[in-house]
Structure 1
Amino acid sequence: MELTLFLECYALVEAEIQPTKHSDTQVELFHQYFSSSVLYQFCMHRQEERPRIHKKIFNFLLKESAGSLSCINEDDLKKEQMSLPFLKFPGLVQIEVIKQLELRDVFWLSLCSKHMKHVIRSAELRPKRVHYLVAYNRIQVALRFLEHNDNVHPLVLVRRISYGDTKDLKKMKMGGATIKSRFIKSTESKNFNHYLEYLHSEQNVVINSLQLHINYIFRNEPRVQINVYCTDSLSLSTLIKNAKDSFVIQRLFSTATLEYFLKRHPTLESLHIKSNFTDEKLQEDAKLWKLDRLAFRNSEDMTPMLMRKFNGRYMILDNSNYSKEFWQELIRKWIRRESYHNLQAVITRTHHNLFRVINWREFWAECNAMKWDGLRRPKHFKFDPKIIDFGLYEPEEIDCSDYIDIQQTGGGKWASIRDTGYAVHFFVWD
């Protein structure tokens, strides 16, 4: 039996069959034969998520496969070990079957053969993002098909092993390279029932091959995102290429480590950090200032430096320590067009009420600020920072009818600002 047949057989026997057209005996024969396949058993691990295939496709497959199943008896099936030649089915049928499968199963299928890899590529599955979740000795890969409000779909888990434990390692092809790995049933993860293990000595080749393979089967070039969960996983994360977005979470983080991470990921456009920094020694030319979108969950004493140096579009600083001077400096430079040329939104939040710290009345007179008149700019600001946020910074339309408006010199752009006491919002209108 070809390795690529099991999923189609599975889809057939699990279809919504009309008893008047397909007898119970036929379905039972499918079960009896194909349940002996190791790969069939592998993909049957979650009964509640069995793929479904349209009745018309089921009828078509029965018609096109080996004439008529009604002429096949159980003894003949056992003797000849008949199978459905999936790769001989029309391309549209192959693609429709693939689209019914869980993405984890699609990935394992793509490793069965070069031909099957091409078939899956032709299905044109189009995820928006590929998430690489990096933690010490493993990388979990998941997909997202919508920019927002979409579940993350597990794809594959790969794990590094020590030099001594090499039992059952076998050669396999992935991403154009030959690697040594083994297929392990997982008891640790609820998202992955199986995973691949590889030798530490082959780590660079394996991670590179993994990404190349994923890039090939999803040819729409989905956006690459890296989530890093500890300092020990930083070096492993640098093996992932062309990352656009990253989320870093760990207890302590030095600015030197941050700069190393950014240098190893020169394509990054957005960064979200949930860490406490051990120092504030970022250089004038630090790569952090060149990011397009930046979020700090605990900016604290780094807030003044971040507000002065940032040159991107979106910046969100939570648990920040700021004062009137920091905000006045930013607004003055923006009005005079001295800096913040690309700025679209800045939000600072604090746990302390700052009404007594920032008195805006005199400063508004200096800036020729005015209340919104309902004409000069829209009522709602479309806030969409596109930062890895886990629900904290989802896109929304923010009502700015009670914001104060200011304008750049020389008839430039308008911006709106509001101080709630616990947060300051600053939005620039295009």
Structure 2
Amino acid sequence: MPINLLKLPSLVGAMVVTELDYQEIFLLTLCSRRSLSLVKKARITVPKLTFRLEKCDAYDSFVIGVKIAMYDWYYVTSVIHVPKLKLGGVANANPVLDDESDIESWYVEVPVYDEKTPDYDEEDPDYDEEDPGHVVASFRHRIKRTSEPMEVQKETQNHVNSIFHYSGPYKLYLSMECEGQLPNITNVKHIVIEDGTIDEQFLTKLLTTYPDPHTLESSIVGELPKDSPFFQIQNIAVHSRCGPDYFHNFAGRHLWLDSVTLTEQDVIMFLRKWITEDAYHNLETAIISVTHPLSINADVIRQAIEFEEYDPNEPEKRPENYVCAAPFDDFMTIEEFPLRKENVVEVRQVTDGKRAYLSIDDSRVEFLVHKY
């Protein structure tokens, strides 16, 4: 039997709202001013909001979700810009819907890995098609609008902020298949570029639109000047081929390079600058994979620096594992690095004795600064 939430006592109605999923909460706010007020009274909060600009049926789609953890993502809504609506518009007092809007709904098959795992969605940036798990049917909706996209994006962000009482930073997934202007949203601090590469010109535009991001994950083509603001970003993951200048010029905390063209001398220069404290003052992790078919000669590097080998008779001298705090949850699969291994050596800075752990094989360099 249907229950009219608005006829329940205010406190009871708010308690019922807290049991809804994020998509249901969003849709409830579109019903009327009273339902919007009820949702706001429930004081529902979220840890992190994500936005994603992607192609959907040849149109740009603006998808909003709640990120709980690495693989925990919940659908909230999506807005697609179309030149014309096929059906009559849906009039509503809420600013997210107007006479140039239409809502469509459908069911999708989404995987559920176990009873403790939230519903996944195929629009989730972390959705794994090769391992979908147990599939169930799930309700989805999206809003079609003919209004100016930049205005719509800002209205949607403001509305979602208000119903979830959110004022924190945002994570933006940006598909290079989308043309036109960058999304009109604010306080973007984590950017993931998908479906293509970017060049210096686009990178400059990106960092001008969203200044001072703390994390950028992308594929980049072409060289970057030494003074590029890119190298001042605290956390960088690059998936495309690049040269050694990417880590020579880096000034942040976490650096992950997937395909680097380098020599042993490049690695030696990098290590010596850290040991002498000439550079990399804030560095915490550097994971560098070399471009195939290049290889690294670990012996050449070890002969050029001072290091301490692992002593299996005194394992307590170093932690068992290094817990990585890099925020690359769409790029990084390793959260802990084992340290009590023969191929992991210890290096120290000459002035204060600060430690770091170095592991080198023929295709990869792992440099992990000890946490005090």
TM range (shorter): 0.7 to 0.9
Pair 1:199 & 2:146 matched: yes
Could you say which residue in structure 1 is the equivalent of 2:359? Answer: 418
2:175 counterpart letter in structure 1: Y
Of 291, 295, 313 in structure 2, the residue corresponding to residue 354 of structure 1 is 295
2:248 to 301, 305, 308: 308
Distance 2:11 2:333 in 1: 37
Q: In structure 1, what is the equivalent of residue 285 of structure 2?
A: 345
The one-letter code sitting in structure 2 at the alignment partner of 1:168 is G
CA distance in 1, matches of 2:77, 2:48: 14
Alpha-carbon separation, structure 2, partners of 1:219 and 1:317? 36
Separation in 1 of the partners of 2:281 and 2:174? Answer: 31
Name whichever structure is richer in helix by fraction: 1
**RCO (CA 8 Å, sep 6+): is it higher in 1 or 2?**
2
- Structure 1 unpaired stretches of 5+: 1-29, 35-83
Decide whether the 8 Å contact of 1:242 with 1:267 is kept in 2: no
2:30 paired with 1:111: yes
Alignment-derived partner of residue 400 in structure 1:
339
- CA distance in 2 between partners of 1:88 and 1:186 (Å): 27
Equivalent residues, number: 333
1:215 CA drift (Å): 0.7
Q: Per the alignment, in what secondary structure is the counterpart of residue 182 of structure 2? A: helix
What SS class does the counterpart of residue 260 from structure 1 fall into? helix
Q: Which structure is larger by alpha-carbon Rg, 1 or 2?
A: 1
Alignment of 1:248 onto 2:203: no
Q: CA deviation at 1:184?
A: 3.2
Contact kept? 1:263, 1:287, Cα under 8 Å: no
Where in structure 2 are the equivalents of 1:62-141 lying within 5 Å? 85-136=4-55, 137-141=60-64
Partner Cα separation in structure 1 for residue 180 and residue 107 of structure 2: 23
SS in 1 for 2:326: coil
When normalised by structure 2's length, the TM-score is 0.80
User: Conserved in 2, the CA contact under 8 Å of 1:134 and 1:233?
Assistant: no
Per-residue deviation, residues 122-156 of structure 1 (Å, max 9, x unmatched): 333332221211025211111122x2342x21111
Give the structure 2 partner of residue 185 of structure 1: 104
Is the CA contact 2:66–2:75 (under 8 Å) kept in the aligned structure 1? yes
Question: Over aligned residues, Cα RMSD in angstroms?
Answer: 2.6
Aligned residues of 2:85 and 2:102 also touching (Cα < 8 A):
no
Contiguous gaps of at least 5 residues in structure 2: 110-120, 122-138
Q: Is the 8 A contact 1:160 1:203 kept in 2?
A: yes
More strand by share: 2
Query: Displacement of 1:354 after TM fit?
Result: 2.0
Deviations 1:212-267 (A, max 9, x none): 11111111435411111115347232x12111211101334212111211211114
TM-score by length of 1: 0.70
In 1, are the aligned partners of 2:90 and 2:102 still within 8 Å (CA)?
Answer: no
Structure 1 CA distance for aligned equivalents of residues 296 and 227 of structure 2: 34
User: Using the alignment, how far apart are the partners of 1:382 and 1:269 within structure 2?
Assistant: 20
